Amino acid sequence: MNSKDTGQTDLQRVRETFDAWADRYDASVAKGGGVMEGYDRSRLRASRLASVHQGMLVTDIGIGTGAFAEIFAQQGAQITGVDLSPRMLEICAARHSEWQVFVGDFLHIPVTSASQDLVISSFAFHELAVADRAGAINECMRVLGSGGSFLLVDIMFEDLSRLQAARERLRDSWDEENYPLFPELSELAGQLSLEIRLEVLSDVHGAALLSRR
Ligand SMILES: C[S@@+](CC[C@H](N)C(=O)[O-])C[C@H]1O[C@@H](n2cnc3c(N)ncnc32)[C@H](O)[C@@H]1O
């Protein structure tokens, strides 16, 4: 995880972290403590920002064991999952044999350009170094057809003072990472000529919906 932002995402370190965590991942997030407080509710609330229809093609980046994509699959979406961690993907594939899953990352999505209706991602974007975030959004937009959107839910904050208040409240259970702030995401959207809708989901979670102007 990128507690110290060194310029580029350390993909090997992130992969090793999640490969090692994979078998305990679901049980540990189900407890929902610290910055994962309200994890189930935030994914559900974020999912409502996108309209889903039967047969819709949805790609989840950082799919993990599949928890966010499940919400869309239940509404009839066809799921493609991409993740850096082969072990997380193995668990996901064992649970959802009807989904396509590929090893890949935010900057290299192994999916055809303009082929998807929606790209989603939950609790993975903050793992990217700040310098890689514009490239990651660009890569997500590449795989979207016209009219497609990128829906992101993560540990994120309206501004630095809210982040500091959450860090103070959670104290010992706070996990220090480079969490996105709304102004950072708005600036990236502006640079990439995208529209952005930002929504506060709780005092530790937020969502962003990015689409072409
Ligand atoms: C905290 S887990 C979230 C998993 C799932 N989306 C969820 O909400 O439960 C983060 C996931 O993102 C993956 N990940 C982290 N950085 C990534 C990157 N740069 N590209 C693709 N996947 C990444 C990790 O391997 C891990 O499976």
**What number does the ligand 1 atom closest to the CA of 85 have?**
25
Q: For strand 116-122 and strand 144-155, is the pairing parallel, antiparallel, or unpaired?
A: parallel
Q: Which residue's CA is the closest to the ligand 1 atom numbered 21?
A: 105
pLDDT in 10s for each residue of the chain, 213 residues: 444 566 889 999 999 999 999 999 999 998 889 999 999 999 999 999 999 999 999 999 999 999 999 999 999 999 999 999 999 999 999 999 999 999 999 999 999 999 999 999 999 999 999 999 999 999 999 999 999 999 999 999 999 999 999 999 999 999 999 999 999 999 999 999 999 999 999 999 999 999 999
- Please name the residues in contact with 33: beta carbons below 8 A apart, sequence gap of 6 or more: 173
**Cα 117 to middle of ligand 1, angstroms:** 20
pTM for the whole structure: 0.96
Minimal CA–CA distance to 12: which of 90, 127, 121? 127
| pLDDT of 6 | 62
Residues 185, 210: Cα–Cα separation, whole Å: 10
Lookup: tokens for 45: 């609330």
User: Using an 8 Å Cβ cutoff, are 183 and 205 in contact?
Assistant: no
Which domains does the chain possess?
11-212 (3.40.50.150)
Orientation angle between helical segments 86-95 and 11-31, nearest 10 degrees:
40
| pLDDT of 32 | 82
Rg, C-alpha atoms of the chain: 16
pLDDT in tens, 158-207: 999 999 999 999 999 999 999 999 999 999 999 999 999 999 999 999 99
**What number does the ligand 1 atom closest to the CA of 15 have?**
25
